Amino acid sequence: MAEVDDDALPASVKLVDCLPDLDNLLNRHISSARWDGITGEELVEYIFDLFGDAPNIDAPIETWIKSNLPKASPGTPGKQFQADPKKTKYRNTLKAGSNSMASIILCNRILMGGDKVGHFFQLGYRIYHRKKGNNPTHTREVIEDQSIAAWRAYKNYEFGKISDAILDGGARIIARKTGVTSPPKFVQTQWNHGKEMGSFGIRATGVYSPADIAANNAGARFYTDLAKLKGGKISLARYIDRTWNESVNCNKYAANVGTRVWENLLLHRNWVLQMDTASHDRKVHANCTFLKKANTFEAALSILGKPPEGSLTLSPVYKKDAKGLIEGITLSGPWSYKGESGLMTIKSSRECWIKGTWGTGQSNQNGGDCLLFM
């Protein structure tokens, strides 16, 4: 399984859209299948085997992207960029390994991780069949779940639970194959949620990605169309949209990952503070360089590289959903600029967009609007 940091693409790196490459690869295999008389449901299985049937977790198409698309670097355009894990928002987390990071690609003019294409072909196939009342990957899904359980037991030195995970998984597989248990009623939203809370998200990486879910659902539509395809070509363009971008369709995180992600974002990205008066006049437009001191984030405010003329001292409060996953941040505290001072409170709507109000004296709202962005 892999995660991606869409905002880790340096400004000096140019990505070329890889949609033609993926479309050409897909349609080449579809054409080959037709020559062999493969259509309908057989074509669905044929394409899944080539693009989505993962020997481990990552789908074959993810491996193809990493191995075959030209790599971009500063000054050299390419079709994928592998960010240095230490320069991503996942630095100093369990996700900061080189093998755990997906390539950043541009596809159908959307910046995304190559893992989204993997979700499209891999989990989209599972949804397609579950909606038809089938579950051909049940054994595989049990193995995925129990492998994660065994890995977590090993990591926590709970060695007795490793055998428990293996035995439980075996019992589930046998019970289904012998008809002792039946597939539960399939509800697509619940199934997607379970995957992101389980072996494709929180339990494995601490990351819950709505963008993964968007790719899963698009994949199911693709396989439905593929089964009906009588001739001609098919393009992934009809399935890919902005919801595949994690900067737009933002992640949620387990608490231990989310606090670190937000710390990395604040300390290691380039932020700009904009403060407007109630009459919409621009009061401040300054670069922010954050440092962490105890439980606060402090920033010097400077314009065009000049010596700092102001500061921020902001305390974080993490917004959590009903499951306790971190889905945002609120920053509040004092500001000062050119002899003036007051308070501000800003709340994130995206990981690159934290907006709220500022005030003077002991107020955090009598001055106007403010925005911290990168």
For the record, the structure tokens of 25 come out as 């690869």
157 touches 253 (CB < 8 A): no
- Residues 267, 299: Cα–Cα separation, whole Å: 9
Q: What pLDDT score does 1 carry?
A: 54
- What DSSP designation does 118 have? H
Predicted local distance difference test score (pLDDT) of residue 96: 46
The secondary structure of 203-255 as a DSSP string is HHHSEE-HHHHHHHHHHHHHHHHHHH--SS---GGGT--GGG-TTTS--EE-H
Residue ranges for the chain with pLDDT beneath 50? 96-98
* Cα 130 to Cα 234: distance, rounded to the nearest angstrom: 23
d(CA 358, CA 354) in angstroms, rounded, equals 13
